[in-house]
């Protein structure tokens, strides 16, 4: 049986690929653990200069696998999802993403921690937290308004309506919109171009770009994230 998260390294780029296409890459506890290990290993490996996140199949990620969350342990600092989010938020090297299809919940909020994003033309993104009786996760209620402004962030978070790749581009959430057939080629080419830059300058520049966010106490999960299943009503989707 294939692993639900695949890791490949070439040319200074570590590609971390969600590999659960039959479930639209909905993320499970096991996948969070594997994602954390992959990012930690990429951070420690000197030959890795950039990381590219991607998803197998028709969707980048449909969000959390809610059935997995409902049957799993209570949220705590040691929870696999929290460990991944801390690792993501404190990652030092350039992060890129290639997104396509249905991209929901954590599939969108993890993009807020990325530096460069390439989206396929048919991508549909959504942040359905409020409609599910939740508050936004992963520091997104802080990061999103800083990226696109308060009013636009409020519209996306309050209403949770899907928006397409072109809208994401106009908002400044993605760097380019390409045909789906060329998505990975375009994203990998961009990642290789980033990886060819002097590594010390890359890391230092990323730290400067993200300096306001680095003051956030990401290691204290109670300060920046709310339990993802503190629902006021039962979720009506298998993924979020």
Confidence grade of residue 214 (pLDDT, cut at 50, 70, 90):
low
What is the C-alpha separation between 178 and 182, in angstroms, rounded?
7
168 has pLDDT over 50: yes
Which domains are delineated in the chain? 5-223 (3.90.226.10)
Residues 6+ apart with CB under 8 A from 72: 29
Stretch 76-105: mean pLDDT: 93
Percentage above 90 pLDDT, the chain = 75
In the block, residue with structure tokens 């980033």? 194
- Specify the range with the lowest mean pLDDT, choosing from 10-24, 108-122, 186-200, 218-232: 218-232
Runs of H (alpha helix) within 116-228? 140-148, 150-159, 165-171, 183-195, 199-209, 211-214
Model confidence pLDDT, tens digit, residues 97-127 = 999 999 999 999 999 999 999 999 999 999 9
Model confidence pLDDT, tens digit, residues 124-162 = 999 999 998 988 888 898 899 999 999 999 999 999 999
Angle of CA points 231, 4, 85, to nearest 5°: 50
**Which phi and psi (to 5°) does residue 192 adopt?**
-65, -40
Confidence grade of residue 96 (pLDDT, cut at 50, 70, 90):
very high
What is the C-alpha separation between 47 and 51, in angstroms, rounded?
11
69 has pLDDT over 90: no
Rounded to two decimals, what is the model's pTM?
0.89
pLDDT at position 77, please? 74
């Amino acid at each position: 049986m294939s692993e639900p998260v695949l890791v490949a390294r070439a040319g200074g780029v570590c590609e971390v690929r969600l590999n659960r296409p039959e479930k639209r890459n909905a993320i499970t506890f096991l996948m969070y653990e594997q994602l954390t290990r992959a990012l930690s290993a990429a951070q420690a490996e000197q030959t890795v200069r950039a990381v590219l996140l991607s998803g197998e199949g028709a969707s980048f990620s449909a969000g959390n696998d809610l059935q997995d969350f409902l049957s799993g342990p209570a949220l705590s600092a040691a929870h696999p999802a929290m460990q991944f989010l801390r690792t993501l938020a404190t990652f030092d090297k350039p992060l890129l993403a290639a997104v396509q299809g249905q991209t929901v919940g954590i599939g969108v909020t993890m993009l807020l921690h990325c530096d460069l994003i390439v989206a396929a033309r048919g991508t549909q993104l959504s942040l359905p937290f409020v409609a599910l009786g939740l508050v936004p996760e992963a520091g997104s209620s802080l990061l999103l308004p800083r990226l696109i402004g308060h009013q636009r962030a409020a519209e996306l978070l309050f209403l949770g309506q899907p928006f397409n790749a072109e809208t994401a581009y106009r908002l400044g959430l993605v760097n380019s919109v390409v045909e789906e057939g060329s998505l990975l080629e375009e994203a990998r080419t961009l990642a290789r171009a980033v990886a060819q830059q002097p590594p010390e300058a890359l890391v230092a520049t990323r730290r400067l770009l993200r300096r306001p966010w680095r003051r956030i106490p990401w290691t204290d999960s109670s300060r920046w994230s709310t339990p993802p299943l503190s629902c006021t009503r039962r979720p009506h989707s298998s993924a979020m």
